[in-house]
Amino acid sequence: MLSLNLGPLAIPIDLALLYAAFFIAWLTGWLIGRKRGSNPESALFSMLVSGVLVARLAFIMQYFQQYTGNLWQMIDIRDGGFLLLPGVIAAVLVGIYKAWRQAPLRVPLAIGVCVGLLVWGASFSVLNALQSSQKIPDLAVRDIAGEPVLLQDLTGKPLVINLWATWCPPCRREMPVLAAAQQANPDIRFVFINQGEGQRLVEKFLAQQQLSLDNNLLDSGGRVGQAIGSLSLPTTLFYSADGLLKNNHLGELSHASLKHALRHISTETHPVNIEE
């Protein structure tokens, strides 16, 4: 499962685990702090906000070249561009500072943070182990001409599968990014699987947008999304040459976040190229 669906809202499962770990850290700290007359809630939120900001800034610094054409995208966190390690370090440093300034917070804050990190680390490791063992679904879809295509026949080199629909605004916005990456990385196979729409509508959309894409496929029943456990669009899957899932991205991709995601499979070929 790649996403947690709450009515019309779809939350990436790794983000849901982070929310859950933070709640557990807060609850643990609050329960322990009650006996000591202190509440670590403010310190925990400061750690969370600081960690997120630093993680985003570190990502922007690493991929600054990809943002130069659209500087406003630096603040558009919908692309999911964050670097975990700098964020964790920043959060820990803020926690140490808060504990140093307020002695009553030290025990409940330390225990809450440790419990939260243990829960997050354990659940994240299990999730990664489960996802990394997932293979490309054993399903057949159709190409634009109506001929059946087995997804497992697409393996043999690193593979990117993008699930999209014409009615999906973020799908439409990210399509030029993926088209440019397809042209710049011939050693990676990019496949675009439309979810639930017909041939004429897809062809009309591609013509209107003047998009030149290879490997356009149709999944009229939305079976691929169901098979991989994501009903939200867009969803982008990154497979190794032998068909194992290495990474996934729910939501809109920017040039920077796509380049970051491709690192999980590009080591098998050549360095990633992203044209802007």
pTM comes to 0.87
pLDDT, tens only, 134-152:
899 999 999 988 899 999 9
Per-residue pLDDT averaged across 84-90, rounded? Answer: 95
Any residues with CB less than 8 A from the CB of 122 and at least 6 apart, and which? none
Residue 204 has pLDDT above 50, yes or no: yes
pLDDT category of residue 272 using cuts at 50, 70 and 90: low
User: Which one, of 14, 47, 69, 72, lies nearest residue 2 by Cα?
Assistant: 14
* Percent over 70 (pLDDT), the chain: 94
Domain boundaries defined on the chain: 3-132, 140-266
Token pair for 156: 């043999």
Residue 275 has pLDDT above 70, yes or no: no
Q: What phi and psi values does residue 236 have, to the nearest 5 degrees? A: -120, 130
- Angstrom distance (rounded) from CA 36 to CA 80: 38
Residue 29 and residue 109: Cα distance in Å, rounded? 6
pLDDT in tens, 26-74: 999 999 998 878 899 999 999 999 999 999 999 999 999 999 888 888 9
Q: How far apart (Å, rounded) are the C-alpha atoms in residues 239 and 135?
A: 8
Choose among 16, 34, 37, 47: nearest CA to 113: 47
Identify the band that residue 264 occupies on the pLDDT scale cut at 50, 70 and 90.
confident
Architecture of domain 140-266: 3-Layer(aba) Sandwich (3.40)
More confident residue, 153 or 267: 153
Does residue 77 register a pLDDT over 90?
no
The string over 181-201, giving b where at least 16 C-beta atoms fall within 10 Å of a residue's C-beta and e elsewhere, is bbeebeebbbbbbbbebebee
